[in-house]
Homo-oligomer: A and B are copies of this chain.
């Protein structure tokens, strides 16, 4: 429930719309599409406009309560306080999703920082490719 606390601390108003959006992110499990959030919210308060929802999600991202990742065209939102940070491998053929530990990226991050002085911002990445089954299926 730290989302609510964060909003308060930042001096932002606690509207019923915002409470519902925060609820959605807590209630439903991880990796929500914007559409799922909109459905959840409008089920209990139908007049809430999608623009309100997108704006709130943007806010929550800005204050570190939520990650936003692009999966293909769509966006996926992801509540932040989880057991541990992770990324996702999504099979472009069958859609299967594998959780991938973020440790795999620490080397890469380090070498990009060394070579280019660049600090990459790897937060909850979604990578596409082929899972084991699909890889073998196609000969």
A residues apposed to B, CB below 8 Å: 70, 89, 91-92, 98, 100, 104-105, 107-108, 111-112, 115-122, 127-132, 135
Contact = CB atoms under 8 A, between A and B. Distances in A.
A89 B116 contact: yes
B132 A89 contact: no
20 contacts: A89-B116, A89-B120, A91-B118, A98-B116, A98-B118, A100-B112, A100-B115, A100-B116, A104-B111, A104-B112, A105-B108, A107-B107, A108-B108, A116-B132, A117-B135, A118-B130, A118-B132, A120-B127, A121-B128, A122-B127
Contacts of A135: 117, 119
- Identical copies of this chain, number: 2
A112 B107 CA distance: 13
Nearest to A130: B119
A127 B127 CA distance: 12
A129 B100 CA distance: 21
Contacts of A119: 129-130, 135
Given A117-B132, A120-B129, A121-B129, 5 more contacts: A89-B116, A89-B118, A92-B121, A98-B118, A104-B112
A107 B118 CA distance: 19
- Top 6 closest pairs, chain A to chain B, by CB: A117-B132, A120-B129, A121-B129, A119-B130, A89-B118, A119-B129
